[in-house]
Structure 1
Amino acid sequence: MRTSCNGCRVLRKACNDSCLIRPCLLWIKSAESQARATLFLAKFYGRAGLLNLLGAAPDHLRPGVFRSLLYEACGRVVNPVYGSAGLLTSGSWRLCEEAVEAVLSGAPIGQVGAGRRAEEEGSGSVFSAGSSHVSQAEDVKVEEEEEVGLELSLGWSRQPEQDVPTRVG
């Protein structure tokens, strides 16, 4: 009788000869790292979502899909807007690789990279992460007497002293 793979063990799922997860974990060296990677992806995509994504891929592509999902999930944690593609195009791919290594080693991803220093100091920066396309958040100040509201019309509003609609903005 074959024992459960590390991925199925951490998901508390029955493992058999046609396991979706077992071949995906062969590139990861240690059993603990295999379990951490599987658990991280199950938390990020959901257990059923992870299994559905792996099941939708052909058998020979599943290890690549697993690895891609891991890099994208780590990229989304580091850069929630652009993910791993944004890290790659901005020249900050090493942050994604460091995040994957952090997941595999059990370290928190929040401590990866030097870009968090400004965020922790409260400087109001949007997670800089060493990329050039992310800039400082501008402080938007509204004067007390200024009224801020939403105009939910089709772009036309009536002036109080006129009966003729005028174009807004």
Structure 2
Amino acid sequence: MRISCNGCRVLRKACGEDCVISPCLKWINTPASQSHATLFLAKFYGRAGLLNLLASGPVNQRPAIFRSLLYEACGRIVDPVYGSVGLLHAGYWQRCQSAVDAVLRGDPISPVASDAAENSRMLYDVRHVSKDETLVNARGPEKAKKGCSGTSEE
């Protein structure tokens, strides 16, 4: 009888020769970290969702898919709007890496503080665009004369 891998053990699922999770955990050093990462992803994506996402890729790319899902999930916890790509683009990749390290240790992840989140979102925020009349009234002067009902006010 084959012993279940740490991922299957934490998901309480049978582990066979064609296990989807087992090859994905080889890059993680300790059995406890493997369990923490699998449990975190199963909570984030759902058990069936995680297994379907891993099974949908080629066998040789499944470890990379697992790692990518882990970084994206941690990025979404830290910055729910922009995720790991937003953290990378804003120059805060270390926060995503710290969140992954926390998951592997079994520690909780905390979202970005509001001032840091605002600074990272300034790259994407359109509130700084001026409200120029030509931009607001993009339909043209003849449309601007009409009221809400669409009829002309003459």
TM interval, short-chain normalised = 0.7 to 0.9
User: Which stretches in structure 1 are left out of the alignment for 5+ residues?
Assistant: 120-124, 139-154, 159-163
Instruction: State the percentage of identical aligned residues.
Output: 57
Q: Number of residue pairs matched?
A: 134
1:117-159: per-residue Cα shift (whole Å, max 9, x none)?
A: xx4xxxxx5734x637379xx9xxxxxxxxxxxxxxxx9623x
The answer as to 2:122 corresponding to 1:133 is: yes
Greater percentage in helix: 2
By relative contact order (CA 8 Å, sep 6+), the higher-ranking structure is 2
In 2, the alpha carbon distance for the partners of 1:127 and 1:95 equals 11
**What residue in structure 2 maps to residue 38 of structure 1?**
38
In 2, the alpha carbon distance for the partners of 1:64 and 1:95 equals 20
User: Which stretches in structure 2 are left out of the alignment for 5+ residues?
Assistant: 128-145
In 2, the alpha carbon distance for the partners of 1:95 and 1:133 equals 17
Please say if residues 90 and 123 of structure 2, whose CA atoms lie closer than 8 Å, have aligned partners that are also in contact: no
Q: Secondary structure at the match of 1:29?
A: coil
* Distance 1:93-1:126 versus aligned 2 partners, 3 A rule: closer
Once superposed, which parts of structure 1, at least 4 consecutive aligned residues long, lie more than 6 Å away? none
Q: Once the 2 structures are TM-superposed, how far is the Cα of residue 166 of structure 1 from its aligned partner?
A: 5.2
In 2, the alpha carbon distance for the partners of 1:41 and 1:166 equals 58
In 2, the alpha carbon distance for the partners of 1:48 and 1:64 equals 19
**What residue in structure 2 maps to residue 10 of structure 1?**
10
The answer as to 2:88 corresponding to 1:88 is: yes
1:165 counterpart letter in structure 2 = T
2:75 counterpart letter in structure 1 = G
What are the residue-to-residue correspondences of 1:9-158 with 2, within 5 Å?
9-110=9-110, 115-116=112-113, 119=114, 125=115, 127-128=117-118, 131=120, 133=122, 157-158=148-149
* Distance 1:23-1:91 versus aligned 2 partners, 3 A rule: same
1:131 counterpart letter in structure 2 = S
In 2, the alpha carbon distance for the partners of 1:30 and 1:14 equals 21
